[in-house]
């Protein structure tokens, strides 16, 4: 939670700081590539827990993963540079329920996986040495939770997912930058697949940080 709040504060500050500065600077590079570690926050959905015969608090609350993306900046107008691109994200989290007493067996291990292919259109503010952005797009995602003692071999279908958020890139070196992003994924409802329960429409928050190249 502290990490998410910290990233949120940095992203918000970075997104609005350029408005206070004169923008007669160098325009953005033609393209940038990102590689970031992701930290999704999974929601405890009662219907999912009930279908897996566990309590809502037994479901994983956090995950860990990787996002890789590329973005192009073909058009500059005033203080805004318009960008087009997208990202691919994969992540997972697991939780094993501890017994109430040492003599009781451990509960089942629950695993949640989230992946996304997310096209994005962005509004970028800043200059070549560093800029912030607001972006969004409609893509596809897959969100599943299952018990490891009841593994499902069939792959769940992807559903539509709206993503929106913001971030920033700061180039400490000529071609290498620190990259931060805070993003929401609004995922459509998903049907059950085998032993995996159905998911209602949910919105996930994903914080990420890593590097960017231009």
Question: What DSSP string describes 72-116?
Answer: EEEEEETTEEEEEEEEEEEEEEEEEPPPSSTTSPP-PEEEEEEEE
Torsion of CA 99, 101, 105, 107, to 10 degrees: -10
Name the residue among 115, 17, 107 with its Cα closest to residue 53.
107
Tell me, what's the pLDDT at 12? 45
- Note the pTM of the prediction, 2 decimals: 0.84
CATH code at 2-192: 2.40.160
Question: How far is the C-alpha of 95 from the C-alpha of 63, rounded, in Å?
Answer: 10
- Ordered by start, the domain boundaries in the chain are 2-192
Segment 139-153, tens digit of pLDDT: 999 999 999 888 888
pLDDT at 199: 93
> Tens digit of pLDDT per residue, the chain (214 long)?
444 444 444 444 444 444 434 344 578 999 999 999 999 999 999 999 999 999 998 999 999 999 999 999 999 888 999 999 999 999 999 999 877 667 777 778 999 999 999 999 999 999 988 999 999 999 999 999 999 888 888 888 899 999 999 999 999 888 999 999 999 999 999 999 888 899 999 999 999 999 999 8
The pLDDT of residue 195 is 85
Strand partners, 51: none
pLDDT tens track for 184-211: 999 999 999 888 899 999 999 999 999 9
């Amino acid at each position: 939670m502290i990490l998410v709040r910290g990233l949120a504060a940095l992203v918000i500050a970075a997104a609005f700081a350029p408005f206070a500065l004169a923008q007669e600077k160098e325009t953005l590079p033609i393209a940038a590539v990102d590689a970031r570690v992701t930290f999704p926050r999974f929601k405890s959905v009662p219907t999912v827990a009930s279908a897996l015969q566990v309590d809502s608090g037994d479901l994983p609350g956090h995950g860990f993963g990787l996002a890789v993306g590329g973005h192009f900046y073909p058009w500059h107008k005033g203080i805004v540079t318009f960008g087009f691109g997208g990202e691919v994200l994969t992540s997972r989290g697991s939780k094993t329920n501890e017994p109430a007493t040492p003599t009781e067996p451990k509960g089942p291990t629950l695993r949640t996986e989230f992946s996304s292919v997310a096209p994005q259109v962005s509004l970028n503010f800043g200059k070549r040495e560093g800029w912030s952005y607001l972006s969004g797009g409609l893509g596809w995602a897959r969100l599943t939770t299952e018990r490891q003692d009841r593994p499902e071999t069939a792959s769940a279908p992807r559903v539509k997912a709206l993503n929106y958020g913001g971030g920033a890139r700061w180039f400490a070196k000529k071609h290498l930058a620190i990259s931060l992003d805070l993003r929401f994924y609004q995922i459509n409802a998903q049907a059950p697949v085998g032993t995996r329960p159905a998911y209602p429409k949910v919105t996930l928050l994903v914080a990420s940080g890593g590097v960017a190249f231009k």
